[in-house]
Structure 1
Amino acid sequence: MVEDTSPGRHDTIMAACDDHRYGQLGCKELHDNCADNLKAAMRQIGLAIPAVPNPLNLWMNFPVGPDGTTSWAEPLSKPGDYVVLRAEMDCIVAMSACPWDILPYPKACMPTDAHDQLLD
């Protein structure tokens, strides 16, 4: 990460959502999720992955308490904040605007559109 205009609170703790997690939350039908979206995108370019890696959840705020518990808090970022990432080697990058909409979180925590731009 070479530039970040937000307060810098991002998450690497929460795993990508998947159909199993949605099922545990009571979702009875297939629901879009980051794990399946990544697998589908990889198949579109002729690749398969043995496991879904943990994501870098930009702007997500999951504070860890002194006792190790995590909680879901409102993002500290604001509209228009951005990050610039630099690849130091050839890689495949997937980006998803979180499709999470199962539980009633505060409006500030609900998914919004995300945009990416490849810089040379």
Structure 2
Amino acid sequence: MSSEPEVFTLPARRGRAIRLGTGEAIKIINTHGSQVVDTWVFSAEDLTEFLSNEHMRPTLGKLWPGKGDVLITNRRRPIMVMEEDTSPGRHDTLMAACDNYRYGLLGCTEYHDNCTDNLHAAMRQIGLEAPECPSPLNLWMNIPVGADGVTGWGEPLSKPGDHVILRARMDCVVAMSACPQDILPINGAACQPTEAHYMILDRRS
């Protein structure tokens, strides 16, 4: 008799990483509707192969993936598929993960939590070392792009409880960061990062 999968917390301003086998899936939930989740996927066999936005965009022919789209690695191989998306589907692939340098440019004079450090901390928690910080798939991050190419900082279009399901096409490691951005409104007008949640689906016994 199957039981409901466990719900895990992705704490506000922090990161988590999990291993997935081929065919398994992760459901990432925007619990409060306004939280951006920076998401990375690495090949479990070789961490130098990873989800790559710059390789995915020409393959998909668009700026962000949607339901049914395959996520592509820097070796142009499928690593996951976006099986489900209940949100309006705005997920940024243009912006690099925030880092302490970025917050310095925004006026911070002391250390600020950031997605780059969250990635490395999350990987270390499961005994791995990320070889670099690739550009993440920024789930629910709304970056409007004008016809003249000018970008903006929009608030998320998602609502509380929206989720995506990403299913592994190879053995992989998924890392997530509940983005700690609290200066620009990418986590909503309140600029208040919140926790998100996730579940592992079809986990092998």
Q: Which moved more, 1:36-45 or 1:18-27?
A: 36-45
- Contact 1:5/1:82 (CA < 8 Å) preserved in 2? yes
One-letter amino acid of the counterpart of residue 30, structure 1? Y
- The yes-or-no answer on 1:39 pairing with 2:156 is no
Structure 2: 5+ residue runs without aligned partners? 1-81
| CA shift for structure 1 position 109 | 6.0
Could you say which residue in structure 1 is the equivalent of 2:157? 76
2:121 counterpart letter in structure 1: A
CA pair 80-116 structure 1, distance change in 2 beyond 3 A: same
Q: Report the Cα distance in structure 2 between the residues aligned to 1:60 and 1:113, rounded to whole angstroms.
A: 15
What residue is the counterpart of 1:48 in the other structure?
129
Q: Could you tell me which residue of structure 2 aligns to residue 5 of structure 1? A: 86
The structure with higher relative contact order (CA 8 Å, sep 6+) is: 2
Q: State the alpha-carbon separation in 1 of the partners of residues 153 and 109 from structure 2.
A: 24
Q: Which runs of 4+ in 1 moved over 4 A?
A: none
Q: TM-score, normalised by structure 1?
A: 0.89
Aligned partner letter, 2:136:
P
Root-mean-square deviation (CA), in Å? 1.6
Deviations 1:60-87 (A, max 9, x none): 1101111111101122111111111101
Change (3 A) 1:102 1:109: closer
Equivalent residue pairs, number? 119
**How far apart in 2 are the matches of 1:14 and 1:39?**
18
Q: Is the 8 A contact 1:74 1:108 kept in 2?
A: no
Between Structure 1 and Structure 2, which shows a larger proportion of strand residues? 2
On the 8 A contact 2:100/2:112 being kept in 1, the answer is yes
Task: Select the residue among 198, 202, 205 that pairs with 1:116.
Answer: 198
Query: Contact 1:60 / 1:75 at 8 angstroms: preserved in 2?
Result: yes
Q: Is the 8 A contact 2:181 2:191 kept in 1?
A: no
Q: Which residue of 2 aligns with 1:67?
A: 148
Number of the residue aligned with 1:92: 173
Which residue of structure 2 lines up, in the alignment, with residue 28 of structure 1?
Answer: 109
- C-alpha separation between the residues in 1 aligned to 2:191 and 2:86? 19
Q: Classify 1:109/1:32 alpha carbon distance in 2 versus 1 (closer, same or farther; 3 Å).
A: closer
Cα distance in 2 for partners of 1:36, 1:61 equals: 22
Secondary structure in 2 matching 1:117: strand
| TM-score under structure 2 length normalisation | 0.54
How far does residue 117 in structure 1 lie from its aligned partner after superposition? 0.6
Identity of aligned residues (%): 73
- Displacement of 1:59 after TM fit? 1.0
